[in-house]
Amino acid sequence: MKKPVVVIGGGIVGLSTCFEFQDAGHEVTLIDPEPISGATHHAGGMLAPIAEVQFRQPELVPLMKESARIYPDLIARVSRYTDLPTGYRTEGTLVVGADRADARHIADLVDYLEREDLPVDVLSTRQARALEPALSPRIAKAIGIPGDHQLQPRLYARAVLDAVRARGARIIQDTVVALEGASPCTQVTLSSGSLDTAGSIVVLAAGLGAAKIPGWYAGANPLQLRPVYGDMVWVRMPAGMDCLVSKVVRGFVENRPVYIIPRNDGTVTIGATSREDQPHSSTGGIHDLLRDAIRLVPGLEETEFVEATCGARPGTPDDLPYLGWAGSNLVVSTGYFRHGILLSALGARTAVDLVAGRELAQGLEACDPFRHAPATAHSTPSTA
Ligand SMILES: Cc1cc2nc3c(=O)[nH]c(=O)nc-3n(C[C@H](O)[C@H](O)[C@H](O)COP(=O)(O)OP(=O)(O)OC[C@H]3O[C@@H](n4cnc5c(N)ncnc54)[C@H](O)[C@@H]3O)c2cc1C
């Protein structure tokens, strides 16, 4: 008999983790007061290990590439248990620059990608406009990244939740307020009761909320999570009109990033802001996003405004997730920052591999949940 698994957090990371443990033959319990209410609800959903490649982050790039590689298989397996759509699209990504300085930025990106042997198509602006006629004739540079895909995070997360439920997961809509120990974690304390976990595996996948759950470490909290806020604007094409673009368009406008993501339902998502203060959208920030998006794809001006939201990415000091054992039956899986939709596939598979004692496809030393812990912090044995 495989050990039952209790997953804390029903964002994309926790949900994918539930699914993978079910696939591996474990009984799963998911705890979340409101699944899909965190960063996942607000995310763009770009699966973009190449366009989002992070200079000077050599540990992150292989994780992103590996997760992108295994994503299509995970989506296919999820789709066997649900009829809900995922919004998965494989048209690829165009990266465009608005002016000459932005063109230089893209040229630097191309140099880096070519040095790292990552696939990129250098396009003339004419070729880019042949691919996406709605692009402004005034763009200064464009490249194509065929392997960078996208999905609709709200839809995809709902599909995974539906699949997990269909496979018999127990779902407890409650908040975890504490864990009792880590080696082993004997109890999960909820706001309205408790759950015995002595013989179970516990996975702490509560996004930013993970840093507020005490009891599994001694001393100061080892998880240094911080919210990094980002705005998202949703617009809709007028009735009867095709979407303006078919690929994700990532742009730089006077050095400001902006992305334009077409969806299957005729909506377009526009985003890219990033800040550590102000947990709400500012009117100026939304104005800047729309102005930059319209400069790259002028037809966006004719769309219907649907919604603007602000979400919080679970940031870590080094932009790497916290992923690994934190005690004899406790796995931590959080801190996925800007790439949690992409990295959720790898995070979920890794949690299963850890529990199965399998050799990991990717080294996890750089993701140690205790790497930012003050010297006094370490996992705590059960007090029960
Ligand atoms: C504006 C924006 C755009 C983004 N775009 C992209 C993108 O294009 N591509 C990409 O890969 N990533 C993107 N991201 C990042 C991505 O959204 C996150 O990294 C990812 O969603 C993190 O998922 P998660 O499951 O760890 O956390 P969350 O989605 O935040 O989920 C955490 C869950 O835990 C639950 N929870 C919290 N505390 C408790 C508790 N005490 N007890 C029980 N449950 C609890 C919450 O209710 C929530 O449902 C974006 C993020 C933002 C904000």
- The answer to whether the CB of 13 is under 6 A from ligand 1 is yes
- What is the Cα–Cα distance from 45 to 340, expressed in whole angstroms? 9
37, HSE (Cβ side, Cα atoms, 13 Å) = 10
pLDDT at 91: 94
The answer for residues whose C-beta is within 8 angstroms of residue 57's C-beta and 6 or more apart is: 319, 320
CB 181 within 8 A of CB 217: no
For the stretch 284-315, pLDDT in tens is: 889 999 999 999 999 999 999 999 999 999 99
Band of residue 119 on the pLDDT scale cut at 50, 70, 90: confident
- What is the Cα–Cα distance from 344 to 205, expressed in whole angstroms? 10
The residue extents of the domains of the chain are: 5-75+153-224+317-379, 93-146+226-315
304-319 in b/e form (b: 16+ CB < 10 A) is eeeebebbbbbbbebb
Ligand 1 atom nearest 339 alpha carbon: 11
Ligand 1 atom nearest 271 alpha carbon: 1
pLDDT at 384: 45
- The answer to whether the CB of 35 is under 6 A from ligand 1 is yes
SS3 113: helix
Ligand 1 atom nearest 310 alpha carbon: 1
- The answer to whether the CB of 40 is under 6 A from ligand 1 is yes
Band of residue 378 on the pLDDT scale cut at 50, 70, 90: low
For the stretch 105-114, pLDDT in tens is: 999 999 988 8
Fold of the 93-146+226-315 domain:
D-Amino Acid Oxidase; Chain A, domain 2 (3.30.9)
Question: 63 CA distance to ligand 1 centroid (A)?
Answer: 18
Q: Supply φ then ψ for residue 166, to 5 degrees.
A: -60, -25
Positive or negative CA dihedral for 305, 306, 312, 313?
A: negative
Neighbour tally for 63: CB within 10 Å: 27
pLDDT at 39: 98
- What is the Cα–Cα distance from 295 to 303, expressed in whole angstroms? 14
Band of residue 359 on the pLDDT scale cut at 50, 70, 90: confident
Check residue 220 and report its DSSP letter.
S
Instruction: Give the mean model confidence (pLDDT) for residues 161-189.
Output: 97
Question: 311 CA distance to ligand 1 centroid (A)?
Answer: 8
Fold of the 5-75+153-224+317-379 domain:
FAD/NAD(P)-binding domain (3.50.50)
